[in-house]
Chain A
Amino acid sequence: MEKYIYINDRPVLWEDETNILDLTRKAHIDIPTFCYHSDLSLYGACRLCMVEVEGRGLVTSCSTAPFEGMKIKTHTAQILKLRKTIVEMLLANHDQECPKCSRANDCKLRDVSNRLGIDKVRFRKTREPKPMDLGSECLVRDPNKCVLCGDCVRFCSEIQGIGAIDFAARGQNVNVAAAYGKSLAQVDCINCGQCAAVCPTGAIVVRSHIPQAWEAIHDPQKTVVAQVAPAVRVALGEMFGLPASDLTTGKMIAAMRMIGFDQVYDTAFAADLTVIEEANEFIARKANGEKLPIFTSCCPAWVKYAEQSYPKLLNNLSSCRSPQQIFGAIAKERLPKQLKVEQKDLVVVSIMPCTAKKYECKRPEFIHDGIADVDIALTTQELGRMIKEAGIDFDSLEPESMDLPMGFATGAGMIFGNSGGVSEAVLRYAADKFNIPVQENIVLQEVRGESGLREATLADGNLKMAVVHGLKNAQILCDKILAGEADYDIVEVMACPGGCTGGAGQPIVMNHSKRKARTTSLYHADKTMPMHRAQDNPFIGELYEALLEKPNSHKAHELLHTAFKHRKRIDDDELSFSGSGDEDRCKIRVCVGTSCYLRGSQDILAKTLQMVEEHAWGKHFDISATFCSEKCDKGPNVSIGDRVIHKATLDQVKDIISQEAEKRVK
């Protein structure tokens, strides 16, 4: 039998909704919320979503379950007054610098305050101003704009599995902070930017590199070339009121030329190269019986996460650089000659759906003698803002096309922007080798879709693939792989929900349907392209002939591949157990980082300390615990004097210490 509840005296059909908020939305009423997010756990803290339930009084609609015949009122005098009071109290402590805020156009606080007709704030500021976090290359945090909804905190821990930020302190002082109040740049933040994407206000925003881009464009000495990632073209239009499904490639290119970019190229071209390199790396590993699965490495947020949390899997990451960095390396190698400019006057700007790309292009391995492969990474939003700043009427532009050769891509490179796209593109390349009977534009339904983990088994079980997005899902999968409970040949990981199309550099979306529309649009783009397999790209063929010889060649390794290293989660000092003393004391360092700890380093440390104390050798040794000596695969790692002991055992360490002590006691 059908069940109904009554919202403002009108019946509403109750199907599977678990809270009244969803039902009110179904009844065409948009109750304002700050802390409700359908992907995240319930928090129920902002109280904005209050409604009146007959017989129960005021309740938060986001966290109250419906019951049959329930009678709800959503805009009584009391509720309207209460909502206003809540928002006024938030505004009292909110740094009201709205015209200067990059979220001015899509700020929920501004929107709600406007909707509630708030024209004055009756309360005084009660919170002390807090310093901004300006340390990160990707994000800027301004606690003075925070409404404490906790969306960022929950996203970071529930979807990304990181927990780089959390609530600290209490009462008037409560604030969202990284560990020890440090900058995001000094902690385990992977720069995915999703906290900024869910923040209803400007308390976390993407760091802007627009000034640097203009400066390069306005410098007559410089030739400025751009590369545009696939996902940008299916979202940019949203900033100009166009639907999310609009593929705006042509208008986008026209606008970029008008802004002053000298050449406009396609990151999907570099993605075609990534496909070929990565597929060959995989085929070789499989043939030689080397370590599998191979993990994709084109998402810099995932790469940083793997580096800090999964040292044991680093050898499994494909050594391929991401398309952004491959493009940069090829551009800096070839374009000076092609465009007749000096390398130092060539500026490569990338337009990315992603905030972590800003961090990636600053990684030291991608900067040689002060010249970076990619000089400036902008987000889709930043490009949109530059177009607006230049006064370009986007919608009325005539489409233009990309510059050759690096503006030519196949559908394989194009679908890189979708979660599942990399796997599909690699498969299109490798299908022949595995005798997978497919048409040229093979569509791999299994790896398409929304679910957090998708799997496909092909070639009679000879080829097993997994696709994950959201790093929490990656974490679960990695743990299974390490425990031997799952095995695959290829694992694709993207940090952002939906892949790059859902990146935090894209225009802010408040609902899933827009993101899905972008995904569909990118698959359509693939369909309409003349070629669908990376190996068919004639300009890639030409590039191998002229420069790279063959996939995974020496030259290819130099330009297209990279290496990963373990990194600490938090910038910490060592934990010293010895007071200050003689400089010539023998130094003992025991790693107690996660990986060494799991291999028993704490016991070694404890027994070492005990031994030194029992023998009263304190003045001869200087002992510290380090949090990671970055050789995790060989842990436990202990260094004594100049000797570094990998896979240390307690007896071994004790022996060496005794020898050292003997020498010194004499």
Chain B
Amino acid sequence: MSAEYAAAHSFNKVIEILDRYDRSESKIIPILQAVQEEYRYLPQEVLTFIATSLRISPARLYGVATFYSHFSLEPKGKHILKMCDGTACHVRGSSAVIDALRDKLKLTTKKITTDDMMFTFETVSCLGACGLAPVLVVDENIYGQVSPEQALGLVNDIIEKEKQNA
């Protein structure tokens, strides 16, 4: 599927999602979740479109979308790294991993996605896996007791794989 069809597919998906949830205001959260899965973030134009379809005001939908940290209104990278910085992880040295990753990817607390849209790096407050602290999540996979070296290794692996695919 080429890039231009991807957008078309996503949009058709939005319509499908809206229909699936009966275009009902009470289903805002699952709708946004499904749409974010499709786009990896919530594009503004798509949000206005959803608001129109749900017959609610765009400001209201924006309010909901910004209330949950899970939703993103900024485009996210292809690979998402989440480092836990909750108390347990912090005590066990998450800061060192965070610094190493930000350094490597040239990111900051404000800039969380790389220019090539390959990586997004976020910190989260507690993943509920304190026994494994410090915890790093790379896309769908959870890594416990990570060291800075190990984290950088994971990133390098992804970069290598992407190069081969390109």
Contacts and interface: CB of A to CB of B under 8 A. Distances in A.
A148 interface: no
A168 B45 contact: no
6 contacts: A188-B57, A597-B52, A602-B15, A610-B8, A613-B5, A618-B2
Interface in A162-189: 162-170, 177-181, 187-188
A605 interface: yes
What is the interface of chain B mostly: helix, strand, loop, or mixed? helix
B73 interface: yes
What is the interface of chain A mostly: helix, strand, loop, or mixed? mixed
A581 B4 contact: yes
Interface in A606-637: 606, 609-610, 612-613, 618, 623, 625, 627
B109 to A, nearest CB: 12
A193 interface: no
Contact of B48 (A157, A572, A581, A610): A572
B4 A579 contact: yes
Nearest to A173: B66
B15 A574 contact: no
Contacts of B73: 180
Contacts of A167: 63, 67
A179 B58 contact: yes
Nearest to A569: B58
Interface string A134-170: 0000000000000000000000010000111111111
Contacts of B49: 575, 592, 625, 627
B56 interface: yes
Contact of B59 (A164, A579, A594): A164
B143 interface: no
Contact of A609 (B8, B47, B48): B8
Nearest to A157: B57
Contacts of B47: 179-180
| Closest CB pairs A-B (n = 9) | A163-B57, A179-B58, A609-B8, A166-B63, A575-B45, A577-B7, A166-B59, A179-B59, A168-B66
Contacts of B11: 575, 577, 605-606, 609, 625
Interface residues on B, range: 20 to 34
B4 A578 contact: yes
Interface of A: 157, 162-170, 177-181, 187-188, 569-570, 572-579, 581, 592-594, 597, 602, 605-606, 609-610, 612-613, 618, 623, 625, 627
Contact of B4 (A170, A592, A618): A618
Given A188-B57, A609-B11, A610-B12, A166 B62 contact: yes
Interface in B66-106: 66-67, 69, 73
Contacts of B5: 613, 618
A613 B8 contact: yes
Contacts of B56: 163
B166 interface: no
B161 interface: no
A575 B60 contact: no
A234 B29 CA distance: 49
B20 to A, nearest CB: 14
B154 interface: no
Given A188-B57, A572-B45, A597-B52, 16 more contacts: A163-B59, A165-B59, A168-B63, A170-B69, A178-B59, A179-B47, A180-B44, A180-B47, A180-B73, A572-B48, A573-B45, A574-B45, A577-B4, A577-B8, A606-B11, A610-B8
